[in-house]
Amino acid sequence: MWIFSWKGPSGFSASSTAEEVTQGIDGTGLTAIVTGASSGLGVETTRVLTLRGVHVIMAVRNTDAGKNVKEQILKEIPNAKIDVMELDLSSMGSVRKFASDYNASGLPLNLLINNAGVMATPFQLSQDNIELQFATNHLGHFLLTNLLLETMKKTAHESNKEGRIVNLSSDGHRYAYREGIRFDKINDESGYNSIYAYGQSKLSNILHANELARRLKEEGVEITANSLHPGAIVTNLLRHHSFLNVIANTLGKYVLKNVPQGAATQCYVALHPQVKGISGEYFMDSNKAKASSHAQDAELAKKLWDFSLSMTNQN
């Protein structure tokens, strides 16, 4: 497929799989949390990280589904180190409980892969009365990251290994509302557009990583934060748009990435030595890429950070 043939400076292209981009990398001794690990890209990311020796904690809303995935992976990789923990990113109470339980477990944390997400849902509010896509895709991960940060700092210091935070965004961030983030209209049902709201949440993922990277650099902490676009992939994210879903599943094999290709960039950013020391960047096809002008707006990133703190009651 010609659209996948070009290779960037990293030596990888859009057709590279997660296994290929992590070939020869030994992740033994590293511990990772992968959110949304029971379906789509999360399953493949979990499988490939365990294949490389990483101890993976699957943070999933449905623990039965998570346990089924764990059993499947153990059949293929008998010595895989996997645990399953419950996490519903649309509920701040669930996020706080997960983080509290994790921090109390004494487990280290080298890699945090904020992978979970919902896409283009009809207007609805989360348990905390916040528009669901913004609540799940951004605020849940923002709160989770902040609550786990001390454990990550401690791990980076004690292990003398760089910690990495990886936010799964999307090139859909280019199709947010005109102003980027609708701070005063997050819950405005009358002006709601499911695609723009998705774009807003994915733009937030990039801005979050950028501002976090700036703060970590300022603090002199050996933890990086980056965001990425996995590529156009057939997963179950389009289930709320049946017509688009049918088209994607019919034509997808010709123009879209499969899941092993889709999981490549997050595995690359999480594990590859080429990414060491790189922070506050946006990746696509296992190479650095350029995000939208809104996504590169440092003032917008700071404003979103403060807004997110107040929305998650962390002020």
Cα distances (Å, whole numbers) of residue 129 to 14, 262, 306, 314: 38, 32, 19, 17
CB contact at 8 A, 38 and 66: yes
What value does the CA radius of gyration of the chain take, rounded to a whole number of Å?
Answer: 18
Nearest to 112, CA basis, from 163, 179, 188: 163
Listed in sequence order, the residues at least 6 apart from 186 whose beta carbon sits closer than 8 Å to its beta carbon are 130, 131, 134, 311
- Nearest to residue 59, comparing CAs of 113, 130, 125, 14? 113
DSSP string, 57-107: EEEES-HHHHHHHHHHHHHH-TT--EEEEE--TT-HHHHHHHHHHHHHHT-
What span, in angstroms and rounded, lies between the C-alpha atoms of 269 and 209?
13
- Pick the catalytic residue from 192, 196, 268, 282: 192
Residue 155's contacts (CB-CB under 8 Å, 6 or more residues apart) are 31, 108, 109, 110, 161, 163
**Which 3 state secondary structure label does DSSP give 116?**
coil
How far is it, in rounded angstroms, from Cα 200 to Cα 207? 10
- 286: nearest Cα among 307, 315, 259, 266: 266
Indicate if 192 belongs to the active site: yes
Max Cα separation, the chain?
A: 52
Catalytic residues: 192
